[in-house]
Amino acid sequence: MTYRPEIDGLRAVAVLAVLLFHAGGILPGGYAGVDVFFVISGYVITGVLSAELARGGFTLAGFYERRVRRIAPALLATIGITAAVAPFVLLPPDLDAFGESAVAAALMVANVHFWLEAGYFDTESLTKPLLHTWSLGIEEQFYLVYPLLLAALWRRARRAVVPVLLALFVISLAASVWAVAEKPQAAFFLAPFRVWELLLGALIALRPLPRLRFGSPMAGLGIAMIGAAYLLYDDSVGFPGLAALLPTVGAALVIACAREGTRAAQILGAPLLVAVGRISYSLYLVHWPLIALIEYRGGDPVQGWESVAVIALSLAIAALSYVYVEQPFRRPARFGAYWRVFGAATAATAVACAVGASFDMSDGMAGQMPANVRAAFAAGKDVWKDGDRCFVDTKGRSGPTPDDIRSGRMCRFGAASAAARPDFVIWGDSHAASMAPAILTSAGRHGASGAFVGAGSCPPLPGYDTLDVRDRTERRCHETNAAALDYVEAQRPAYVFLVARWPKYALGSEFGNEGYFFDPRKIKPPVAGEDVRLEAALDATLARLRAAGVTPVLVMDTPEPGYDVPYATARELLQNETPNLAPARSAVAARQARPLAILTAVAGRHGGEVIDPTPAFCDDATCRVERDGVLLYSDEDHISLTAATELSGLYDPLFAELARRRPDAAKSSRPAAP
């Protein structure tokens, strides 16, 4: 293909947008630069392939040799250097995860790997120095198939090339639009929902339409469309889908219309932009590991002068990579025959995979951590062991089925047989599982027997639709809760303990950016109407419980630290800092005020009880996350087994009353409500 400097300029526009997005969020929609890259890639590769096919010079070996020379050296160098630095920065769980991602990136399946994990915009992305390699996975998966398809069509049905590619473009775009609404993570990371962007560039290269007139104005429009996406989009936009048409069609217009002599070509062909465009691949590779590791070490996103320094350093490292890694390996003389190129790439990939696997198999080199750091991590495993067998998996893979629940084939505790009527039932979401040891310990002291039923993200409210959960989870919640209520109405235990993360349901959101890097400044405001919806559902549930002669016991949620307590504690200890993760009592009170008021009001209307464990954690100033060096949380919102056991005294009055009444209850056909 004839060299077009404006294409390198467009590459610069794409990579600088990504860099400005990652470096402190300077450009909120800069992530769309990746989509501009996809269009450029489809255009350039199709131009080369079609020229070779036209003159009969196309070979698969030649194509893949060029791809290996172009992609592998800088990628494997980035993986290797990041792997050398990561053990000195990342904590064991993140080094373990980095090892897995290094293997995935080296094998060009990083997009699939990260699809199976958290999203691209999640706070935990700071712990993933190779997250950006997802886009390379999409490209290389596309280019495993595309040359074969194009060559077959070219040789057997040349007139069908454009119609077939156009049909695939439409199918992929339609699938992307559907997936953004139904499966957003898949839409973002998986190739079938992205290939339309590469095919858009391919169609421009094949010129299915007469060349557009008024080249400069149309190219200017394309630049404006790209800029609009960068400025107007943010991480709340459903992407790619229809939203991706703005930057990608803009890129297509620039490629098609910014020809030599146009004003757009002159702007994009400016020497500085062209220079950045030439190093754009290395710049894309090196910038994110640098930013991620710096932010990880500091605990906060880079901002201000830090952003400027990171951008400058990224440009310098990328220039060195371009000169000393990219260029030498693109010369045909290096390694000679194609089989040597493939052999060298295979060997280097094997080394990268071996290094990554070593991090994974050593649990992130956890054995080399100081004893106090290992002890902090151990709190993450201080959980109720019976939860694994008792808890309903929202994917339907484990735990009791609805039929099991209705027939009583679920977790039972106490001396009574499984066929006997339980004295109590614990019912709720994952917070019910973390609180269960407290209730069971107290019940055991007083000779009471009971049952447990719970499912993740499922408050004990039949028919209640939880905000922002997958359809599959919602369906499982409805089935589990309906079965639980049927069981309770049939068995009529004395107590039903309803335990859930009530603030999340009353306010419609979690406690800010929870997890490893919690920012209290980013706590979302309450979602209007969620508190009313929760109160109505709770009122209806308690009415049915009382109609069955059951006393409902509403257990208020424990304080939410926001941080992943074991992880954040270990991180501060590793940096020789004194952990200071206790949330302010005022913040906890503000978070709990509305849900506690709802629980109190509804319980009062239906003769229920409310148990609030908050005072056991909080004094007037703060709410503890540790006591005498022992952590009280296993993550960012679930209390540990140790903490739960210490709360058992809260339930003693209820079970003591039940024990006093047991002889009377035994004479009755059903236990009387206390």
List the beta bridge partners of residue 451. 412, 425
The pLDDT tens digits of the residues spanning 255-279 come to 988 877 788 889 999 999 999 999 9
- pLDDT of 211 > 80? The answer is no
For 638, the token pair is: 């679930």
The rounded percent of the chain whose pLDDT value lies above 90 is 63
| Beta carbons within 10 angstroms of residue 48's beta carbon | 15
Given a cut of 90, whether residue 343 has pLDDT beyond it is no
For all residues of the chain together, what is the average pLDDT?
89
Range scoring the smallest mean pLDDT among 176-180, 333-337, 481-485: 333-337
User: Which one is predicted more confidently, 520 or 159?
Assistant: 159
Q: Which run of H or of E encompasses 88?
A: none
pLDDT at residue 395 in the model:
66
Residue-level pLDDT at 673: 39
pLDDT tens string 494-520: 999 999 999 999 999 888 777 766 777
User: How many helical (H) and strand (E) elements, i.e. helices and strands, does the chain have?
Assistant: 28, 8
pLDDT in tens, 615-647: 999 999 999 999 988 999 999 999 999 999 999
- Per the CB < 8 A criterion, the answer to whether 330 and 341 are in contact is no
The pLDDT score that the predictor gives to residue 360 is: 87
Q: What pLDDT score does 661 carry?
A: 81
Supply φ then ψ for residue 395, to 5 degrees.
-90, 0
The CA-atom distances, in angstroms, between 265 and each of 10, 36, 217, 222, 223 are 10, 16, 11, 12, 11
- pLDDT of 181 strictly over 80: yes
Q: Pick the range with the lowest mean pLDDT from 210-214, 402-406, 415-419.
A: 210-214
What residue type is 124 in one-letter code?
Answer: E
Of all residues in the chain, the percent with pLDDT exceeding 70 is: 93
Tell me which residue has tokens 């897995």: 100
Average pLDDT over residues 457-482: 90
Dump the DSSP string for 43-70.
HHHHHHHHHHHHHT---HHHHHHHHHHH
Report how far residue 613's alpha carbon sits from residue 651's, in angstroms, rounded to the nearest whole number: 10
- CA angle at 147 for the pair 145 and 148, rounded to the nearest 5°: 65
Q: Evaluate if pTM is beyond 0.85.
A: no
User: Which pLDDT belongs to residue 298?
Assistant: 78
Locate 587 and state its tokens: 């913040």
Q: Is the dihedral of CA 67, 68, 74, 75 positive or negative?
A: positive
Per the DSSP assignment, residues forming a β-bridge with 610 are: 554
Angle CA 635–101–522, to nearest 5: 40
CA distance 124 to 94: 10
- Flag whether pLDDT at 23 surpasses 50: yes
Which tens digits make up the pLDDT trace of 423-449? 999 999 999 999 999 999 999 999 999
Picking from 357, 449, 363, 455, the residue whose alpha carbon sits closest to that of residue 412 is: 449
Dihedral over alpha carbons 537, 538, 543, 545 (to 10 degrees): 120
Query: What pLDDT band is residue 665 in, cutting at 50, 70 and 90?
Result: very low
Burial of 559: CB neighbours in 10 Å, binned 0-12, 13-18, 19+: buried
Per-residue pLDDT reduced to its tens digit, 76-100: 999 999 999 999 888 888 899 999 9
User: Which of 20-24, 234-238, 537-541 has maximum average pLDDT?
Assistant: 537-541
Phi, psi (degrees; rounded to nearest 5) at 494 = -65, -45
